[in-house]
A and B are shown apart, each in its own frame.
Chain A
Amino acid sequence: GAVVSQHPSWVICKSGTSVKIECRSLDFQATTMFWYRQFPKQSLMLMATSNEGSKATYEQGVEKDKFLINHASLTLSTLTVTSAHPEDSSFYICSASPYGERNSPLHFGNGTRLTVT
C-alpha cells in the first residue's frame, strides 16, 4: 500500500531556531502533498498544499514566511518552521495521494511532534 514517511518523528528546539520536517512518498509519486497541524485533542487543520515545482498554497491565517514549504521532487516535500516559538509547538502531519486525482484517499505520515522551549 501507499506509504508516506515523515522525519523526524519528534524534535525539540530552542525558541528562535528553525526546524525542517521532511515528508516522503516511499512507493509512489506525489505532485501534491498536504501539511496539517494538530493540537492536543483537536482535529487536523490544513495549513498548506505543497505543489511540486511551484509555490505552495497556504490556508487563510497561515503565515507563508513562517512556514516555508519546498516540494522539489515528486517524492519529497519539506516544511520549515522558521524562528520557532513555543506557540508553534504542535503535531505536524503531512499527507499525499498516490492517485494524483481528487476523490481518492489521502495517506498520512506518522507526524512530527515539535516542542519549542
Chain B
Amino acid sequence: GESVGLHLPTLSVQEGDNSIINCAYSNSASDYFIWYKQESGKGPQFIIDIRSNMDKRQGQRVTVLLNKTVKHLSLQIAATQPGDSAVYFCADSFPSGYSTLTFGKGTMLLVSP
C-alpha cells in the first residue's frame, strides 16, 4: 500500500447497498495482494487475496479486482451489512524473500441500517 496518512478516508453506505473500497499501491514489483478487515480494538482479519496473474477473484459477498497497469486494487462488498462496518486495509507483497506485507492507509466503512 501507499504510505500511511494521518486520517482514515471514510465510506458511508446504507445497509443493502454495494460497497467499493479502493486502494493504490506503489511497488510495481508487488505480486501478491490481500484485503483485511479490522474491527475496533482487534487485529486485522483476512478477507480475500489475489495474485498478480489474476485480475479478479470472488469470495462470499466480496470481489477483489486488480489493475496492475495503474497499480490499483479494489474490494467490492455486495449487499453490505451493519456487521461489515470496520476499517479495511489492502496490503501488498513483492518478491523479497519471506512474505512481508506493506499496508495501505485504510478506509473506514460505516454501514447504517
Contacts and interface: CB of A to CB of B under 8 A. Distances in A.
Nearest to B44: A108
Is the contact region of chain B dominated by helix, strand, or loop, or is it mixed? loop
B43 A105 contact: no
Contact of A102 (B89, B93, B102): B93
A43 B97 contact: no
A95 B99 CA distance: 11
A13 interface: no
Contacts of B102: 46
Q: By CB atoms of chain B within 10 A, which of A34, A41, A93, A104 has the most?
A: A41
Given A42-B6, A102-B93, A103-B51, A108 B43 contact: yes
A103 B99 contact: yes
A104 B98 CA distance: 10
Interface string B27-54: 0000110101000011111100101000
Interface of A: 4, 6, 32, 34, 41-46, 49, 93, 95, 97, 101-111, 113
14 contacts: A34-B100, A41-B6, A42-B5, A42-B106, A43-B4, A43-B5, A43-B104, A44-B44, A44-B89, A45-B4, A97-B99, A102-B95, A102-B97, A103-B31
